[in-house]
Chain A
Amino acid sequence: MVNKPLVSIVSAGLSQFGRLDGMYCRELFADAAKEAYDRCPNLNPARDIEALFVGHMGESYEHQGHTGPTIADWAGLLPKPAVRIESACASSGAALRAGIFAILSGMHKVVMVGGVEKMTHRTTAEVTEFLAMASDMPFEQWNGITFPGLYALMATAHMHEYGTTEEQMARVAVKNHHNGTLNPKAHMQKEITLEKALASKVVAWPLKIYDCSLITDGASCLILTHPDLARKFTDTPVHVIGSGQASDAIGLYERKELTSLKAARLAGQDAYRMAGIKPDNVDVAEVHDCFTIAEIIAYEDLGFCDVGKGGKLMEDGVTELDGRLPVNPSGGLKSKGHPVGATGTAQAYEIYLQLTAQAEKRQVDGAEVGLSHNVGGSGATACVHIYRRD
């Protein structure tokens, strides 16, 4: 399977990300779907799209379950089969894989995959509680450990073991906020300074408010087809050439390492092997920066640098937009926002734009190979996908 495209992305859509009062999941997804339809005039959605896989983490936010058909209805895809895929913050990374399976099985020729979450209408306390459901209930939640708390435990361990600093973490936030100012769909299009990030309110020491991603409303989607059919729909397909997913213990405490996500390493290794490439072949990456330490750990897990050198890689500017390996040109979860179920395919959307030279002010020149890294919870799920332009 090395180097052979698994499936082709023939179109993609993204809603505005932000606080979108009065817009709920169904309307947010319709917004993303409309963009994907408009980008692909050769596609007749009602006729051509044969199934929908939609990533969505929580029915608690809207008191609305049975998300698959609800979203299919608003996207104009009834009566096509539609299911919700839930893997916490990796829900739509997993939905993308479900779409790949559907195409590769031969069961479907064209499918839509995507994700959606509506979060901002709830109080921060409620959102904190809903998100915490993706952690271990009997030992983590029961002992008052929050999601920022879990990543803070990783950060403390990383600082202790490798000398990573709060300043290196804050630099991730400064970089991603800068990139977000170049993305008109980002939630927070605002520069921040290192001083401001370091002086911001502590959420779970050593993580401060600017180390945390945003509570955001948003939706994202992709239209996938078999590589042999891609040219029927577009002249500029982007191929998915590697896909990896792995699982780990739900409880961080059960894992041998606190400074690395084993599931992400394994998912990355599978994706690289399938794609037949090495980490230094990647031109642009979107990684799961739910907290700044998570981006530093992602650099190491994906082989962008040696173990323990993630903070240094950030400090050296390698992952800045004008660096050798730009990471999170979209602004990442940190400034584009993190509507949890939408994040995986929102990362793929950004890679699609980058590899088709449509990323405008944040375009990485000449990008040919892209990677997305989507993590669920504190690392019990990880999905890595590798893409190349046609």
Chain B
Amino acid sequence: MLEAQEPLPVCTFTGETRKMSETAPFTVSSFYRFVSEKRLMAAKCNECGTEILPPKPMCTNCFSTNLKWIELDGAGKLLSYTIIYVAPEQFQSMAPYTVGIVELQNGLRLPGMIRGVNPEDIKIGMKLKIGFETSTSLQWPAWTRYFFKPA
């Protein structure tokens, strides 16, 4: 709930967003604040060039804290998937649902739900793109969810 009460980043479509992008701390919370703005962001080390997803406050390749945010296009391909029948309580109303691991540009990866495709039509290697929920969970940690859908 604390997260939800914090002011959201400055308007998505103004120049100020870039400014916000440069100053947001390199945390998972910042990642999800960008998701609430329909943006998929990763960290990049200004010293060694490593791209870091999930974002971390220190480059785990060269230990530099000289980082910047980069925006990913959200296009990717499916590396593996499963269909979950026995779900945790808060997901039971959605079961069965499909989740997968998606390789994004430059080899970065995220797991997520795959929506808008029948389980029998899912294939490893298929092209997907990111989507963003419009509502934000009220439950801690009150992040907006992203998901994947056919490209």
**Interface positions of A (Cβ within 8 A of B):** 124-125, 128-129, 132, 138-146, 148-149, 152-157, 160, 201-207, 251-254, 258
Q: A138-B143, A144-B91, A252-B101 are in contact. List 10 more A-B contacts (CB 8 A).
A: A128-B86, A139-B54, A145-B84, A155-B82, A160-B124, A202-B83, A203-B86, A251-B54, A253-B101, A258-B79
**Does B63 interact with chain A (Cβ within 8 Å)?**
no
A-B contact count (CB 8 A): 99
Q: Which 6 pairs, one residue from A and one from B, show the smallest C-beta to C-beta distance?
A: A152-B82, A144-B91, A157-B80, A205-B83, A253-B111, A138-B28
The residue in chain B whose Cβ has the minimal distance to the Cβ of A125 is: B89
19 A-B pairs whose Cβ atoms sit less than 8 Å apart in the complex: A128-B86, A138-B141, A144-B90, A144-B91, A146-B84, A148-B86, A149-B82, A149-B99, A153-B81, A201-B85, A202-B85, A203-B86, A204-B84, A205-B119, A206-B82, A253-B110, A254-B54, A258-B80, A258-B101
Residues of chain B from 47 to 105 with CB closer than 8 A to chain A in the complex = 54, 79-91, 94, 97, 99-101
A25 to B100, CA, bound (A): 36
8 Å CB contact of B83 from A154, A157, A204: A204
**Interface positions of B (Cβ within 8 A of A):** 28, 31-32, 54, 79-91, 94, 97, 99-101, 109-113, 119, 124, 141, 143, 145, 147
The residue in chain A whose Cβ has the minimal distance to the Cβ of B102 is: A253
The residue in chain B whose Cβ has the minimal distance to the Cβ of A152 is: B82
Residues of A within 8 A of B90 (CB): 144
Residues of A within 8 A of B84 (CB): 144-146, 148-149, 152, 204
8 Å CB contact of B82 from A128, A129, A138, A153: A153
Q: Give the shortest distance, in Å, between A210 (CB) and chain B (any CB).
A: 14
Residues of A within 8 A of B86 (CB): 124, 128, 146, 148, 203-204
Q: Give the shortest distance, in Å, between A141 (CB) and chain B (any CB).
A: 8
A144 lies within 8 A of B109 (CB): no
Residues of A within 8 A of B109 (CB): 253-254
Residues of A within 8 A of B141 (CB): 138, 142
